[in-house]
Structure 1
Amino acid sequence: METGSAASQKRAGTDPSSVSSSVSSTGSPTSENLTFPLVARLELDELLTQLVDRAQDVLATQSRLRGLLAASRAIATDLRLPVLLRHIVEAACELLDVRYGALGVVAPDRTLEEFVHAGMDPRDVDRIGHLPTGHGVLGLLIDDPRPRRLDDISRDPSAYGFPPGHPPMRTFLGVPITVRGEVFGNLYLTEKRGGTAFTAEDEELALALAASAGVAIENARLFHDTQQRHRWMSASADVTRQIMADADGALESVAERVRTVADAEFVSIVLRDEEAGSARVAVAVTVGADTVSGAGQRIPLDGTLTGRVMAEQQPLRVEDAQLDALPEERDAATGPLIVLPMVAGTDHVSGVLLVGRNRGKRPFSDTDLASAASFAGNVAITLELARVKADRERLVVLADRGRIARDLHDHVIQRMFAVALGLQDIAQYERPSNAERINQYVEDLDVTIKDIRRSIFELRASGASKRSRLHAAIDRIAEDVRPALGFTPTVRYSGPLETVIGDDLADQVIAVARESLTNAARHSQAGTVELRIGVAGESVVVDVIDDGVGIGPGGRRSGLDNLRTRAEQLGGSFTLTTPAGGGTHLHWAAPL
């Protein structure tokens, strides 16, 4: 018989045995067999699932944040900019789990001047050939530097398509990299592993990495600029010592040092020629050239970069020298070019320094321009100091020559003349045999006196020649051709040139000397060249003698024809002969 309680439970649809099993001996329910209604249990399962998903999202986010920190540390380990750019690309590929990544550096002309990539097989790179320059999808960020996410590159209206041999790419994410508020370049990522599209979270991670990259690039730039300034300062100190030790032979070393420090392919030092109203290339150094080329060329000051910089006394930067510079102001392959004034005083520009890089190489930065301009000014000041030093030394030599000439004239010659007179007087009283010997001694003394007088004349003429326009011009010409010859030609003067040659004839002699020495430098391949200028009777003569190969039938004759024409117009003569020992002897003469 059922109890009332059991009956009521059965009516309620509840098994009394189940209830009793859920109650302990004390009358309390046990946790092991606690049950919930079906609806409540479903809601609890859903909440637990959401909690697990959120926890997994938190863990994934935490993992990606750790990856971002690791990537930021990785790109900050090296301050060398080329290495840093590669680290940035590799870190981005690892952080966002993509197959391909690249960083394009934006040039001033809105193209990609540098493209650093990762993930592609080297064989694919070789098949593709040239790197991207910033067209198509890559150019989107150049024109509008905002993040870009594409699920399929090929469907974008700006897509150019891929060149032959390029691996397939579909998904795309691009973010700009800014340095000090200016776009430095863009970070490009494609082909996320798993084939999924890039998400907003991926974009945020890429932007965060780009921000870290911008800071690292700025630090690398500052480090590079500091190192570059130090290199220029060190070079300036070195060339100062070289110029003060040997001003004439130091310019080639200066140009070579500039080429190395500036990472350039072409360097030229151009000096002003006040009298000619133009500039001349003192030395030009080009990478790969066996010899120094371009020396001695004339550059007009009107309508040239050289003339502009000399007039304005301000450094100039050119993006492409092929468009803006004369051939004399650049090498055949020069692209980026800086032209720097060599300012030795407030209003005195002694010349310019031209530094060029090949087309396709990076342009010169503001730091390059400022450091090189300071270097050029220091070279100009040092050259001026060396010139003053040389002038002082020359004045000392001239003073010694003058003193020696006066002593010879006032003392030695007078005493020798007195001795000769005394011997002549004694000869009158001696036997004929002794008298003949004494007279011979007197003749020897006369010859010696003439030799001393000739030496006095040469000493005085040498002193005057340094101050004469003719001698100064000839000395400059000899220095101009020194780099092309490989040595300084010997110059000899004879006779009173500064007193008997007028200005017009002096200009002719200067032109003949320049043409003759330039011709010898270009064609003779000589080991020695001697220039002689003097007065012979009623004519001024110019002789250039070298031991080179001579001028063959096919040689250039325009310069020689000019020399012949000059001589004929003045009523003089011109001959070109081959000495017995070989070489060439050029003889030019014109009446005084």
Structure 2
Amino acid sequence: MAAESGGAHPAPGGDHPPPGGSRPAPGDDRPAPEREPLLLEAVLSLGTDLELRTALQDLVTAATRLTDARYGALGVVDPERSGGPRLTELFTVGLDEAAKARIGDLPCGDKGVLGALLRDPRPLRVDDLAADPRSCGTPAGHPPMHSFLGVPVLVRDEVFGDLYLTEKRGGGPFTAEDERLVRILAAQAGIAIGNALLFENARQRERWIEGAAAVTTALLSGARSDDPLLVVAEQARLLADADAGVILQPTEEGGMEIVTASTHGDPADLVGATIAPGSPVLEQLLGGEPVFVDDSATDPRMTTHVRSRFGPSLLLPLQSGGRLIGTLALPRTRGARGYTSVERQLAGQFASQAALALVLADARRSRERLAVFEDRDRIARDLHDLVVQRLFATGMMLESTQRRAVAPEIGTAIGKAVDELESTIQEVRTAIFALQQPPVDAPTSLRGKVLKEAAGAAAVLGVTPSTQFRGAVDSRVPEPVATRLLAALHHALAAAARRPNVSEIRVHVDADARLPDGRPGLILTVDDDGGPDGTTATSQWPL
């Protein structure tokens, strides 16, 4: 039942022209008594199910039984499509899946007999489609169809769709009585479909509201905020029944790039795809305007290399308070049904609320980071002003006592205590330095990188290495030497992890060292207590 070539889910007589090209005037026939029970049964059955798709399929089935038609179809019309009203879905009777596959894509309804009914939504009867001048041919694999009856289905005085019936059994044309019966059925169906639409829209709104609330809760509670954009993309994909949920953000070059994606498969081929500057759709996206696409694969505005995979798509701005965070894209697979006006509206509202949640979540994380920084600064100041000063003063007192000690063994013991205090002071200063580093950012200094490497090894070793620095490590060590030092440190810590019974590891980085040949240099020493006598790994580089 396709109305024009290329139609998929055939619409009866869609591509076959009606003979004579005129609409017969309604006859004075009255429903035959034997068909009145069928009509009554069909009318009653239409109001028993609030499930929209079930109600639409029941309507087509009832109409074919009522008129003794071999094939029937109901084409759902989207009046808001660019270029005029078009069919977005087709519910059929009389065609199995194999026949639908042979016919091909869904007819758009812009030509042929279906197009005539879309342009002039009044009942239309055709005795022989093949003889009608409006015919534009049938797709390959389409079953032969001759007689045709088309009736619009109105919901609250607006065209919801068109009911198509073809091939009256027995070979004759549809009669005025058939037309009247179907018009009565379509009028009653309009009421039932209106109720089902209200129920369907209410359920959709409930789902989208619950989904938006779930995103807001997840982002603001911090429960799933490791990747806030992915939370939004995943929830939107599920709500929209889309093949993917994608977030795009502006690039420095003036384009937009997919920064995160939620999809049924591997999102790796989506992340990183870019819309180059100059793309026709880019100005709308950067301006925060929504973009609705009927078919991403064929729309010239879509330029990403992944567009061929998708069909209907929504591209919605994520903006709040004049701030554009990015664009939420919700593409469906090729051949999938298009987005309805209600879905577009609900998705737009979801995007606005999600953008607000992202802004609030970002502000919350900034406040938390600030509180952490302030707390770390306070601890670092306390360590420096109180602990280090007291340890230093204690060391001075012990050195003075050592000079006055009479017994050599007492002087030696005091000397060891002084050395331990100096070592402790170095470790406290290292801890102060670590506290001054941003907790979530990657370290940029050599000290920070060494500390990060040691902290990472602690998870494997089960013990946190003690780390000490001597000299101007960050300013004296060039980048190539720093890279080699980090590699040597990683190797030494990995070797320590393989040794049994390691309970203590000491890392010492000396930028004031003298190499054996007298040159100034950098020496890395990693000691551990594993093995019979412990192990020491030493690496050195000239500076």
TM-score (norm 2): 0.68
Q: Which moved more, 1:423-432 or 1:195-204?
A: 195-204
1:268-307 equivalence runs, <5 A:
268-271=246-249, 279-287=256-264, 289-296=265-272, 303=279, 305=281
Whether the 8 Å CA contact 2:255–2:282 is kept in 1: the answer is no
Question: In 1, Cα distance between the equivalents of 2:367 and 2:70?
Answer: 72
Out of 55, 58, 68, the position equivalent to 1:87 is 58
Q: Which moved more, 1:318-327 or 1:258-267?
A: 318-327
Whether the 8 Å CA contact 2:29–2:176 is kept in 1: the answer is no
Using CA pairs under 8 Å that are at least 6 residues apart, name the structure with larger relative contact order, 1 or 2. Answer: 2
- Alignment-mate amino acid for residue 308 of structure 2: A
Query: Structure 1 residues 121, 372: closer, same or farther in 2, change over 3 A?
Result: closer
Could you say which residue in structure 2 is the equivalent of 1:151?
127
What is the CA-CA distance between 1:262 and the residue it aligns to? 0.3
Whether the 8 Å CA contact 1:247–1:383 is kept in 2: the answer is no
Query: Secondary structure at the residue paired with 1:269?
Result: strand
Could you say which residue in structure 1 is the equivalent of 2:329?
354
Whether the 8 Å CA contact 1:306–1:339 is kept in 2: the answer is no
Residues 123-166 of structure 1: CA distance to partner in whole angstroms, max 9, x if unpaired? 66566566655454343323433322223333222345556665
Could you say which residue in structure 1 is the equivalent of 2:225?
247
1:273-422 equivalence runs, <5 A:
279-287=256-264, 289-296=265-272, 303=279, 305=281, 308-311=284-287, 313-322=288-297, 323-328=299-304, 331-344=307-320, 346-422=321-397
Could you say which residue in structure 2 is the equivalent of 1:449?
425
1:470-485 equivalence runs, <5 A:
475=441
Query: Structure 1 residues 325, 537: closer, same or farther in 2, change over 3 A?
Result: farther
Question: In 1, Cα distance between the equivalents of 2:136 and 2:322?
Answer: 55
Structure 2 residue runs of 5 or longer lacking an equivalent are: 1-27, 449-472, 492-542
Question: In 1, Cα distance between the equivalents of 2:143 and 2:278?
Answer: 55
Query: Structure 1 residues 343, 164: closer, same or farther in 2, change over 3 A?
Result: closer
Whether the 8 Å CA contact 1:300–1:307 is kept in 2: the answer is no
Question: In 2, Cα distance between the equivalents of 1:360 and 1:147?
Answer: 29
1:51-90 equivalence runs, <5 A:
61=32, 63-90=34-61
- Alignment-mate amino acid for residue 342 of structure 1: L
Question: In 1, Cα distance between the equivalents of 2:247 and 2:294?
Answer: 20
Residues 227-282 of structure 1: CA distance to partner in whole angstroms, max 9, x if unpaired? 11111111112222322323124543432222121011121123457x78665433
TM-score (norm 1): 0.63
The structure whose Rg is larger is 1
Query: Secondary structure at the residue paired with 1:157?
Result: coil
Query: Structure 1 residues 410, 297: closer, same or farther in 2, change over 3 A?
Result: farther
Structure 1 residue runs of 5 or longer lacking an equivalent are: 1-56, 467-471, 476-490, 498-533, 548-590
Out of 193, 200, 210, the position equivalent to 2:186 is 210
* 2:210 corresponds to 1:234: yes
Residues 278-313 of structure 1: CA distance to partner in whole angstroms, max 9, x if unpaired? 6543311233x23554335555676464553342x3
Question: In 1, Cα distance between the equivalents of 2:38 and 2:384?
Answer: 95
Whether the 8 Å CA contact 2:30–2:177 is kept in 1: the answer is no
Question: In 2, Cα distance between the equivalents of 1:408 and 1:122?
Answer: 76
Out of 177, 186, 192, the position equivalent to 2:168 is 192
Q: CA RMSD of the aligned region, Å?
A: 3.6
Residues 451-479 of structure 1: CA distance to partner in whole angstroms, max 9, x if unpaired? 2223223323x1xx57xxxxx9xx4xxxx
Question: In 1, Cα distance between the equivalents of 2:113 and 2:282?
Answer: 42
Out of 69, 72, 94, the position equivalent to 1:98 is 69
Residues 549-590 of structure 1: CA distance to partner in whole angstroms, max 9, x if unpaired? xxxxxxxxxxxxxxxxxxxxxxxxxxxxxxxxxxxxxxxxxx
Question: In 2, Cα distance between the equivalents of 1:385 and 1:88?
Answer: 48
Out of 154, 174, 189, the position equivalent to 1:178 is 154
Query: Structure 1 residues 117, 380: closer, same or farther in 2, change over 3 A?
Result: closer
Question: In 2, Cα distance between the equivalents of 1:204 and 1:91?
Answer: 14
- Alignment-mate amino acid for residue 332 of structure 1: S
* 2:465 corresponds to 1:494: no
What is the CA-CA distance between 1:98 and the residue it aligns to? 2.8
1:111-126 equivalence runs, <5 A:
111-120=86-95
1:33-52 equivalence runs, <5 A:
none
Whether the 8 Å CA contact 1:343–1:350 is kept in 2: the answer is yes
- Alignment-mate amino acid for residue 203 of structure 2: Q
Query: Structure 1 residues 318, 171: closer, same or farther in 2, change over 3 A?
Result: closer
- Alignment-mate amino acid for residue 350 of structure 1: I
* 2:239 corresponds to 1:261: yes
Query: Structure 1 residues 60, 286: closer, same or farther in 2, change over 3 A?
Result: closer
Whether the 8 Å CA contact 1:175–1:206 is kept in 2: the answer is yes
Could you say which residue in structure 2 is the equivalent of 1:47?
none
Query: Structure 1 residues 122, 310: closer, same or farther in 2, change over 3 A?
Result: closer
Q: How many residues align structurally? A: 427
Whether the 8 Å CA contact 2:293–2:314 is kept in 1: the answer is yes
Query: Structure 1 residues 139, 377: closer, same or farther in 2, change over 3 A?
Result: closer
Residues 491-547 of structure 1: CA distance to partner in whole angstroms, max 9, x if unpaired? 3443589xxxxxxxxxxxxxxxxxxxxxxxxxxxxxxxxxxxx94625346859899
